[in-house]
Amino acid sequence: MILNNPLIRRYRYSLMRPRQLWIYITIYIAVIALIVFINYTAYQYQEWFGNQIRFFKSLYYQFLILQIIVLCILAMINSSSAIKDEVTGKSYDFFRMLPISAGKKAAGILIGKNLVVLLLAGVNFLLLIILGMLGRINGVLLGQYFLALISVAVLTNSVALLSSINPVSAKKKNHIVLFIVLGFIFVPFVISSIGIAIRKINIFENVTGKFYTIELPVLILISLVAIYFSCWAVKGILRRFTREDEPLFNRMGAYLFMLGFELVLFGLFYEHLKEGAQKTNYLYWLISLLPVLLVPIWSLRSFDKYLEHSGLIQSKSAGNKNLVSGFLLYSNLLPVLVLFAIWTAGSIVTALMTEQELLYNLYYIVILFSFYLFLMLLLELYVVYIPVSNKIGLLLSFITIVYLFIPLILSGVLGSKEVYLYSLLGFCARVLSSKSAPGFLTQTGILLVNVALCIIPTMLVWKRYKHILAARQKM
């Protein structure tokens, strides 16, 4: 059924030609031979491992790292280059025209583009099973490793493909953001895996974690979280293949993603929050703030969409008042407010759970909102001013950097213990630190500065909104 996918056939033709396949196989065999040779030498002459079981166990973990590299890193590079290749090869229109479903296209790329990788990974899996058995690794643990590996591989590959589906910018796209995001996911994983292999510590064997009140092996927990986010990534791929000119998230999708993120994170933090530590509460706040910052970017409606939609509401609305309210409801500012409201609700729950002083925490939330609002207004400025100047992004990025870092620098230069709090980064660091909370006056000062900073962007955004409505009437 899967091999019947025409895209897999297309990649089979181009990737599995014997004259290039033997090169991959030779490299793979050489790597395997090298690992075995080094370990065998260490075992035989240096007596590093003590006994055969530990030798095979160490080999097992090294092959596991190799499998991570093959399935997650090599495959991710392949998956992320598929659409870029179509665009730069000028065949993207043919690809888009293919009368096959978005699901088949996604599967075709994820499997087809990685045929060689999957072939090598298949061999590696067999070796892992053999080495696991020889190293007396518990069968259940072996299964957990495989499940975690496969689910993380599916997540990274689907995220890689998703981030590459942007035909407008694919020509000169680099994947810096993707690599940074994935780097955060992988680097600790790879490093800790290497650590395990080197020190021969079976860190995952008896470690469990709790999701709400359910106790699960940590590898299963990792797998479930990866599977959950993979589902979102696959949903995103299907949306990108069917609605290319739409933002990644529609409104409902953005809210559901945020809610889901809160519920998953809350489940992971639940037991720790019950212990009532202030730090855990604020850590939860800051982690759950990440999607509040990122989802508006992924659900951003463009200037063109604004014009298009204002035409629609103009044809339907009775008066100018309806027109403006209809436009504001369609604007990017609405999800910004809703997402923050969802975050606020979650944050109040955790504050209550950890028995924090509610009023004090609410004031924190208001200050965080003022930071957030300014950043989101800059984002909206980008949307509405991009037709005026395509360098607006550069200017706004500069302002963002100044906004985030200048208070930190000034704090150092002036030797002040309070100025750095005027940066979102400084404020978050202080909230998380064990230092006493900032004073009321300082907090009010931060709030007032942020409100003042929001005035000009709000006026500029409003001016452009009016311009869009006026331009629409002339079209």
Partner 1 sequence: MEILEVDNLRKEFGTLVAVNDISVSVEKGQVWGLIGPNGAGKTTLLRMLATVLRPTSGSVQLLGFDLAKEYLKIRRHIGYLPDFFNLYNDLTLRECLEFFAKAYKVENKLIPKRVDEVLDYVELQSKRDDFIRHLSRGMVQRMGVGVLLVHDPDVFLLDEPASGLDPKARIQLRAVLKKLSGEGKTIIISSHILTELSGFCSHIALMNEGNIVLHGAVDEIQRRVFDTRKLRISVLDDCDKAIRLIEEFTNTKIENARDNEIIVEISADESELAALNSHLVAKGIKVYSFNEEKTDLEDLFMKISAG
Binding site for partner 1 (CB under 8 A): 6-7, 9-10, 13-14, 89-91, 93-94, 96-101, 243, 245, 303-304, 307-308, 311, 387, 471, 475
Of 7 and 109, which has the nearer Cβ to partner 1? 7
Smallest gap from residue 23 Cβ to partner 1 (A): 15
Smallest gap from residue 469 Cβ to partner 1 (A): 12
Smallest gap from residue 335 Cβ to partner 1 (A): 22
The rounded distance, in Å, linking the Cα atoms of 52 and 76 is: 35
Taking CB atoms within 8 Å and a gap of at least 24, the contacts of 140-143 are 141/204, 141/205, 141/219
What is the full DSSP assignment across 75-142? HHHHHHHHHHHHHHTT-HHHHHH--S-HHHHHHHHHHHTTHHHHHHHHHHHHHHHHHHHHTT--HHHH
The rounded distance, in Å, linking the Cα atoms of 410 and 44 is: 60
- 339 Cβ contact list (under 8 Å, min separation 6): 254, 255, 258, 291, 292, 295, 296
Smallest gap from residue 387 Cβ to partner 1 (A): 6
Q: Which two tokens stand for residue 126?
A: 């067999």
Assign 5 to helix, strand or coil: coil
Of 312 and 452, which has the nearer Cβ to partner 1? 312
Smallest gap from residue 102 Cβ to partner 1 (A): 9
Of 96 and 279, which has the nearer Cβ to partner 1? 96
Smallest gap from residue 116 Cβ to partner 1 (A): 14
**CA 108 distance to own-chain centroid:** 23
Smallest gap from residue 95 Cβ to partner 1 (A): 9
Of 143 and 311, which has the nearer Cβ to partner 1? 311
The rounded distance, in Å, linking the Cα atoms of 338 and 344 is: 10
Of 112 and 135, which has the nearer Cβ to partner 1? 112
Of 274 and 463, which has the nearer Cβ to partner 1? 463
Smallest CA-to-CA distance from 377 within 456, 444, 309, 294 is with 456
Contact 260, 228 (CB under 8 A): yes
Assign 204 to helix, strand or coil: coil
Contact 94, 176 (CB under 8 A): no
Smallest gap from residue 291 Cβ to partner 1 (A): 28
Contact 379, 293 (CB under 8 A): no
What percentage of the chain's residues is helix, strand, coil (to nearest 5)?
80, 0, 15
Smallest gap from residue 244 Cβ to partner 1 (A): 8
Of 53 and 470, which has the nearer Cβ to partner 1? 470
Which amino acid type is present at position 357? E
The rounded distance, in Å, linking the Cα atoms of 303 and 225 is: 35
Of 41 and 91, which has the nearer Cβ to partner 1? 91
Dihedral angle sign, alpha carbons of residues 231, 236, 242, 243 = positive
Phi then psi dihedrals of residue 136, to 5 deg: 55, 40
Of 74 and 307, which has the nearer Cβ to partner 1? 307
Of 14 and 138, which has the nearer Cβ to partner 1? 14
Contact 379, 297 (CB under 8 A): yes
Smallest gap from residue 12 Cβ to partner 1 (A): 9
